[in-house]
Amino acid sequence: MKKTINKNRVPQKPWRKWSEAARAAFNDFYAMIYENQKLIAHPRMEKIKAAHWKTVAWNAAWLAADRIDGKFGEER
């Protein structure tokens, strides 16, 4: 199986716990969300600052990775 590269510097502890599918999902979702604010945000909303949007993309990608491994909502 192909090993997924930690392109976005996710901390090693959660990265090692995620499956290869979850790791790949994180990378894909993060890139897609970060690069497409207009697609995701409301059309009448002002553009969110890059640093803030990066956090939104990171959190959404993290949730997607957790969901793939069946851990959605467990760690609160």
- Mean pLDDT per 10-residue segment, the chain (76 residues): 90 95 97 93 91 96 94 60
Residue 31: C-alpha distances to residues 25, 26, 44, 56, 70 (Å) = 10, 8, 23, 12, 22
What are the structural domain ranges in the chain?
A: 21-68
Mean pLDDT across the chain: 91
